[in-house]
Amino acid sequence: MKSKDASDELARAVAVNALVIGQIFYLLNSRYRLDSSLSLKAHLGNKYLPMGIGAVVILQLLFTYAPPLQVLFETEGIPLWVWPWLFLGGLVFFLVVETEKLIIRTRRSGDGVTPLTPIS
């Protein structure tokens, strides 16, 4: 953001939101240690998952756009054109971790070791 002559406050808000979006995508990815999380079935087994993600989204929107929190954390609102880039970064992170899990599964299948069970 700084290369686009953005303020420190905007760069700070974008950095924090990028980290949180990455954490949300990693949460979706970590349902299984080694099995793929690319199916909808992988995410339907935990009824608290949508509530947790919803709570994080609400808190992040407050962090980003509520004036008292902007003053407290020295941030400013993120323009709408930035959000797709943040979500794209989260998706890329998700796919990188999925690729890592695929590589591990492929290597272990040659050793006769089966993938681990879902994390409960």
pTM of the predicted protein model: 0.79
Residues in the chain: 120
pLDDT band at 15 (very low <50, low <70, confident <90, very high): very high
Structural domain for 61, as ranges = 2-111
Residue 78 in any domain: the answer is yes
Q: Is 120 inside any structural domain? A: no
The model's pLDDT over 77-97, given as tens digits with 9 standing for 90+, comes to: 999 999 999 999 999 999 999
Query: DSSP label at 32?
Result: S
List strand residue ranges (DSSP E) for 1-61, in order. Answer: none
pLDDT at 26 over 80: yes
22 inside domain: yes
CA 26, distance to chain mean position in Å, is 5
Angle at 54 between CA 102 and CA 63, to 5 degrees: 105
- For the segment 60-75, what is each residue's pLDDT rounded down to a tens digit? 999 999 999 999 999 9
User: What secondary structure letter does DSSP report for 3?
Assistant: G
State how far the alpha carbon of 9 is from the alpha carbons of 35, 60, 68, 98, 114, in Å: 40, 15, 14, 33, 48
Domain count, the chain: 1
